[in-house]
Chain A
Amino acid sequence: MTGWALLGQARDLADHGQWITGWIGSIPVLVRNFSGALRGFRNVCSHRFALMLTTPSGKGPLRCPYHAWIYDADGVPKAIPFNDSDFHLDDAGRRALALPPVSVAVAGGLVFVHPDTGADPVIPGIWLEQGMRTLPDGSVISADGAIQYRSTQTRGGAC
């Protein structure tokens, strides 16, 4: 799977700090509301590669549970415990460790993600306008927009 994939409901991202997670194939991804802006990233800490957000949805900082690194809206680690002693990362060093972004699109109250940052965000909307119930990523939605099945809920094979 390499195209747009259904990740969840936009209503689960209504407030600042809310997030949803899933998998594009074998790539863990997250989308979080950062002060009203939805941003998507690979859900992998840049430090030692832990999966950061481990439940399908929630609310709180984008924080890795392993060593408590916290990332901002640009995916840059803004809080690194013990940075002054252990890492000595300046702004440029932190930016070099920014999380790889993924594309995010919202259509019909649904949130879609794409692993490529240059993906065309109008495509999911076109699917919905065409009345698709089974989407190209394999997800299934009902006429009222409820998610019957989403391909991103579990880890898939090699992507």
Chain B
Amino acid sequence: MLTYDRGPPRRPLLSPRWFTDPTAHAVEQDALARHLPWRYAGLVGDGIDGDDIAACGDFLFRRQMPDAPSLADWLGPFTGDLLARSPALDSPVARDAVEFAANWKILVENTLDDFHGASVHPQTIHPAVDADWRQHLTTQRAGPHSRSSWKLADDTAAWWGKLLARGALRRFADQDRYEHVFIFPDLYVASFYGTMVIVHRVVPLAVDRSRLEWRTFLPGAASGDAKAASFRRGLVAMLSASARQVIEEDRPLCEQVQVARAAATGPGILGWREQRIGDVHAALAQLLETE
């Protein structure tokens, strides 16, 4: 719950070495492989199978611990979010990736920050969502996982409404919102107007290098309407370029955090709209406690 009428809790953040030290990175990756109950493995159709794989809709997760809770228990209230979005995953339209000269956690921090739109995405994300975030941004958090849901600006919602009609798009939910579901540690699913779904995965490559991979899904009605199909193809090109632009706007900021973080001497601070970041740090701190 976002409570803007008082100060946010002070959340301890991981020390800089977890962002810069190759040895710490190896320890962290080992802990994530051995002590995390479940980890996102891919989507149905990716050719992933095995006794240790379980599905939540079309999202596949690998069991990493024999005594792991059920997948539904691990995903908690976000089980329903993944199930709801799964029907859209029958319509892949694009995939892309960008490498960052930054630790993977900085990418995660960036995506969980419902706060940097005005300064980093002034022409893209910022005008697309309702300016009255006090009323129209809601966040649900459960352990390390979380969801932000933000009402689209009226103009943006109207634009999507037109696209829906012209492209004969299908919706997984009747909602005029941008939603962002994060499943710890590396999966996040963005959705727009209850139709377009973008599945992101943050891949650590080294302590100071990561790759963000994303796959876009735009479900169309099975109408066989050639005009609508043609319109959808053009729309995909435009939406793919837009998605990449947003990532390219984030990349330099993430890289600037990477180079400076080791020289920070203070504790940092998380505002109300950054509390999801604190949840990730808390989960990692707990995971690394025994290392």
**Chain A contact residues, CB within 8 Å of chain B:** 26-28, 42-52, 54, 65-68, 81-82, 84-89, 97, 100, 155
On chain A, the residues within 8 Å of B271 by CB distance are 82, 85-87
Residue of B nearest to A68 (CB): B119
A25, closest chain B residue (CB): B263
* A28, A54, A67, A89, most chain B CB atoms within 10 A: A67
Contact residues, B54-73 vs A (CB, 8 A): none
Chain A interface mostly: loop
In the complex, chain A residues whose CB is within 8 Å of the CB of B120:
65-66
9 contacts between A and B (CB under 8 A): A44-B260, A48-B274, A49-B264, A67-B119, A81-B118, A82-B273, A87-B7, A88-B7, A88-B8
Q: A28-B263, A82-B271, A155-B259 are in contact. List 5 more A-B contacts (CB 8 A).
A: A28-B259, A66-B119, A67-B119, A82-B273, A86-B274
- The minimal Cβ–Cβ distance linking B133 to chain A, given in whole angstroms, is 9
Residue of B nearest to A83 (CB): B271
How far, in whole Å, are A82 and B114 apart by their CA atoms in the complex?
12
What 0/1 readout, one digit per residue, does chain B (101-128) give for beta carbons within 8 Å of chain A?
A: 0000000010001011011100000000
- B287 is an interface residue with CB less than 8 A from chain A: no
A26-B263, A68-B118 in contact; A85/B134 too (CB < 8 A)? yes
The answer to whether B119 touches A65, judged by C-beta atoms less than 8 angstroms apart, is yes
Q: Is the CB of B115 within 8 A of A82?
A: yes
Across the interface, name the chain B residue whose C-beta is closest to A24: B263
Contact yes or no, A66 B256, CB < 8 A: yes
B103 to chain A, nearest CB (A): 11
CB of B253 within 8 A of chain A? yes
Across the two chains, which residue of chain A brings its CB closest to B266? A46
- B240-291 CB contacts (< 8 Å) to partner A: 253, 256-257, 259-266, 268-269, 271-274
Q: How far is it, in angstroms, between the C-alpha of A28 and the C-alpha of B154 when the chains are bound? A: 43
Task: Let me know if A87 and B263 touch, CB within 8 A.
Answer: no
Q: Tell me, yes or no, whether B6 is within 8 Å of chain A by CB.
A: yes
B260 touches A85 (CB 8 A): no
Contact B257 A50 (CB under 8 A): yes
- With a CB–CB cut-off of 8 A, which chain B residues contact A65? 119-120, 253, 256
A82 to B6 Cα, complex, angstroms: 13
Contacts of B257 in A (CB 8 A): 48-51, 66
Check B159 for interface membership: any CB of A closer than 8 A.
Answer: no
Instruction: Tell me the smallest distance from the CB of B275 to a CB of chain A, in Å.
Output: 10
A50 touches B256 (CB 8 A): yes
